Amino acid sequence: MKTKKVALMAMCVALAMILSYVESLLPSPGVPGVKLGLANLMVIFALYKLGWGEAAGISLLRVFLVSLLFGHAASLMYSAAGAVLSLAGMILLKKTDKLSCVAVSVIGGVLHNIGQILTAWLLMGPNVVYYLPVLILSGTAAGVAVGAVAALLVRRIDLK
């Protein structure tokens, strides 16, 4: 792997971690579990600029490091489940080249929430499924916001 690519990936991980931390400082919108997913900016950027393998590495490393530094075992389980499902969906949709960066982000946000609900279902039982509509709405809204900023970064930052 080229030195430049390793440095870019390290910067993406660091920025994703910083965005995760900054997001943890923001006031809650009043609904438990609802977040913007700011760290996903770097994952989407990497998906479009570096490739799917690099984006997956950045996402999973960020999830592990943020959980290690600021979370606990449960946060690692929820984040990892959401990240894996989100990544899989975003990678598949990006490969079609038929959807915009914003649409890929929205699907990623919604799939992240579905992954977290599936984990909660396994840990707490099926009653958590009633919370899914709220998370789908918030994942869609957050996906639009994050996707719009990610699209801007992808357009404006040239890595050559």
C-beta of residue 109 within 8 angstroms of C-beta of residue 86? yes
Query: Chain-wide mean pLDDT for the chain?
Result: 93
Mean pLDDT, to the nearest integer, of 34-41?
91
Q: Per the structure block, which two tokens stand in for 78?
A: 């929820």
Average pLDDT over residues 35-41: 93
Q: Is residue 53 pLDDT above 70, yes or no?
A: yes
* DSSP category for residue 104: H
Tell me what pLDDT residue 159 has.
Answer: 86
Q: How confident is the model at residue 70 (pLDDT cuts 50, 70, 90)?
A: confident
* Of 63, 57, 55, nearest in space to 94 by CA: 55
User: Any residues with CB less than 8 A from the CB of 155 and at least 6 apart, and which?
Assistant: none
Give residue 1's pLDDT.
67
The CATH code that applies to domain 3-156 is 1.10.1760.20
Supply the pLDDT for residue 86.
97
* Residue with token string 């499924």: 129
Query: With bands split at pLDDT 50, 70 and 90, how would you rate the model's confidence at 26?
Result: confident
| Cα–Cα distances in angstroms (integers) from residue 4 to residues 9, 106, 139, 148, 160, in the given order | 9, 30, 33, 26, 10
Domain-wise residue ranges, the chain: 3-156
Taking the C-alpha atoms of residue 20 and residue 60, their distance in angstroms, rounded to an integer, is 13
* Residue 60: other Cβ atoms inside 10 A: 17
83-130 pLDDT, tens digit per residue, is 999 999 999 999 999 999 999 999 999 999 999 999 999 999 999 888
